[in-house]
Structure 1
Amino acid sequence: MLRERPSRVQTGHGGAATVSAGANVSIRIGTRGSALAVAQTSTVADRLGDLAGRDTELVRVTTHGDVSRASLSSLGGTGVFAAELRSTLLEGGCDVAVHSLKDLPTAPAGGLEIAAYPPREDARDALCSAGGGAGSRLSELPAGAKVGTGSPRRAAQLRVRRPDLDVRDIRGNIETRLRFVTDGELDAVVLACAGLDRLGLAGVITERFELDEWPTAPGQGCLAVEVRAGEAIAGVADLDDPATRAAVTAERLVLAALEAGCAAPVGATARLANGELRCSASVYAVDGSNVLTASASRSVDGENAALAAAVTLASEVSEALLAQGAADLVASA
């Protein structure tokens, strides 16, 4: 862990504490140590450094989810990639923490707040299959093809679309999962488009699943920039994208209303475009035997209206899903 450097705290407007320091004091940004986490955090660090006019440095933190080889479902999913990073931020080991939003529990973390949601990248899931070219799309895989994923939601979606496939539970970073395919152990894996794009691996994608038919984890493709509550770090607020904030707020409120963790078989998609916020979500039986879907939309005008609509839409969508029996599917996952 990098050495903590001194900083000076002043009271800013509205009573918030604003960290102020000379140009020689870096903003310390906490991140998981995986190649993907470092790549995405480095992007935030570069932008934040430009906005704040200060140097930045990364503080790499190993989380329980990084070292455990157990399945995500057995680990419980919720917070396994975030707890240690959040503790480091609370204890002053870094000034800012950057998370993949889909890995964060929906419940607020005491003493912390998400200060910015940078513009979202591709929220879709991707199929990466052996060989590429003809026969590389999901519909073209042969019966019995072995397809790997560590996500119960993706496993359920695969079983809904292709009940004839052999769906395998796998763990590991992106490179490890891709090696399952290149080494011939699996015929394909399903991964997040955003992660592959951030690592410059878009070329291995053989199909990007459209969100209308294959909703992804709430918050997928979005980063969360977290700070200590009441402490404003220079430049962080300028990282925030209002359209992204409205969309992911709706998605995560659906997940919270269903009382489901980030590893639950729940897909949600919200998009703000042309003055309309639309939210849809699906809940899956893990074995692919059932899927429940609901959607709603609202016209919006301005950031505040979009956030208010996100709350309303999430309530409507979650209530519709619960009325269909979603609680039973979530509980059985």
Structure 2
Amino acid sequence: MSTLKLGTRKSLLAMTQSGMVADALTEATGRAVELVGITTEGDVNKALLAQIGGTGVFVNRLREEILAGTVDFAVHSLKDLPTSPAEGIELVALPPRHDHRDALCGPCRLADLPVGAKVGTGSPRRVAQLRALRPDLEVVPIRGNADTRLAKVTDGELDAVVLANAGLTRIGRTGQVGELFEPELMLPAPGQGALAVECRTGDAELIELLRVLDDPDTRAAVTAERTVLAVLEAGCSAPVGAFARVENEVLSLTAAVVSLDGASQIRLSASGHPERAVELGRELAAQLFDQGADKLMEAP
């Protein structure tokens, strides 16, 4: 059997995540997998994601390599994946989700940071929710990998930064976590903590092989979350959070739209059977619109 080529970004986190998927696939099927490092626009352009298009900047180049046949499949952080489908590309597997929560990395909990503390994040969603929780904070826009961001705290440039705990855990960087935000305090990005496996549409043999990685509960939960995002026509530049989980065959979904100044927010929940993930997401998004979510997303 030939070795499968897995396309991945070259960052420590991306290589680690892709290696996890490769190991899981090899264990389940016996197929050997080779990681192929690829540089994406998001790796080269260091502007804030909201300024360079956000969703897709870490994904498009990998998809081009799949379509060109340079690699057989690719692994992404699901929250980086645009909600609209890509021609010729199939989202074939969503492995079991890891921690969905955001982490405050610094010496203490959010409530114990001094008045006017500087907290770094490049996410409008996190900015809005931080300001809702602590209007006195100075939220500083930052980019870079996890180690670059964490160094801004240890060097004293910032008092804290907010990062996804799943990524910190995967690369062994949880030592600086001062607090984990439960969804009641800070809703994560839709799909946060989950990985996405894509390959060419129509490659039936490969699709069948990769489906062994798919987790139905994860797929239902993140489908509901991403449907909210898609219906709202929002991307990473919009302050939208969503989280869903499946327990006892019940899918529970919560989503919120928060003004960037943190002063106003609309937060709603719904539940239903996991097979209704898309419908549940659409219904909740419609309710958010009915309560004025579009105006909050447009607010400066």
Q: TM-score, normalised by structure 1?
A: 0.87
Aligned to 2:184: 212
1:124-139 alignment, distance < 5 Å? 124-129=101-106, 132=107, 136-139=108-111
Q: Kindly indicate whether the alpha-carbon contact (under 8 Å) linking 1:51 and 1:235 is maintained by their aligned counterparts in 2.
A: no
Q: Kindly indicate whether the alpha-carbon contact (under 8 Å) linking 1:104 and 1:262 is maintained by their aligned counterparts in 2.
A: no
Mapped pair 1:117 → 2:94 = yes
Q: After TM superposition, give the deviation of residue 329 of structure 1 in Å.
A: 2.1
Aligned to 1:331: 298
Distance in 1 of aligned mates of 2:260 and 2:242: 16
Aligned to 1:87: 64
Mapped pair 1:268 → 2:245 = no
Distance in 1 of aligned mates of 2:237 and 2:12: 22
Q: After TM superposition, give the deviation of residue 330 of structure 1 in Å.
A: 2.2
| SS at 1:236 equivalent | helix
Aligned to 2:144: 172
| RMSD between superposed Cα atoms in Å | 1.1
Larger Rg: 1
| SS at 1:235 equivalent | helix
Deviations for 1:147-179, whole angstroms, at most 9, x for unmatched residues?
000111101111110010010000100000000
Aligned counterpart for 1:55 among listed residues 10, 15, 32: 32
Deviations for 1:208-237, whole angstroms, at most 9, x for unmatched residues?
000122111000000000010121315311
Q: After TM superposition, give the deviation of residue 290 of structure 1 in Å.
A: 1.2
Mapped pair 1:182 → 2:154 = yes
Aligned to 2:47: 70
Deviations for 1:40-86, whole angstroms, at most 9, x for unmatched residues?
10000011122221211011111111111111221121211111111
Distance in 1 of aligned mates of 2:136 and 2:184: 23
Q: Kindly indicate whether the alpha-carbon contact (under 8 Å) linking 1:294 and 1:321 is maintained by their aligned counterparts in 2.
A: yes
- Percent same amino acid at aligned positions? 56
Aligned to 1:40: 17
Aligned counterpart for 2:8 among listed residues 14, 31, 38: 31
Q: After TM superposition, give the deviation of residue 282 of structure 1 in Å.
A: 0.4
Q: Which amino acid aligns with 1:221?
A: G
Distance in 1 of aligned mates of 2:132 and 2:13: 29
Aligned to 1:245: 219
| SS at 2:36 equivalent | strand
| SS at 1:292 equivalent | strand
- The unaligned stretches of length 5 or more in structure 1 are 1-21, 301-305
Distance in 1 of aligned mates of 2:277 and 2:186: 21
Aligned to 2:251: 277
Q: Which amino acid aligns with 1:56?
A: V
Q: TM-score, normalised by structure 2?
A: 0.97
Q: Kindly indicate whether the alpha-carbon contact (under 8 Å) linking 2:101 and 2:166 is maintained by their aligned counterparts in 1.
A: yes
Distance in 2 of aligned mates of 1:73 and 1:332: 15
Q: Kindly indicate whether the alpha-carbon contact (under 8 Å) linking 2:124 and 2:236 is maintained by their aligned counterparts in 1.
A: no
| SS at 2:27 equivalent | helix
Aligned to 1:192: 164
Aligned to 1:310: 277
Mapped pair 1:152 → 2:124 = yes
Q: Kindly indicate whether the alpha-carbon contact (under 8 Å) linking 2:50 and 2:236 is maintained by their aligned counterparts in 1.
A: no
- The unaligned stretches of length 5 or more in structure 2 are none
Q: After TM superposition, give the deviation of residue 102 of structure 1 in Å.
A: 0.2
Residue range with higher mean Cα deviation, 228-237 or 72-81: 228-237
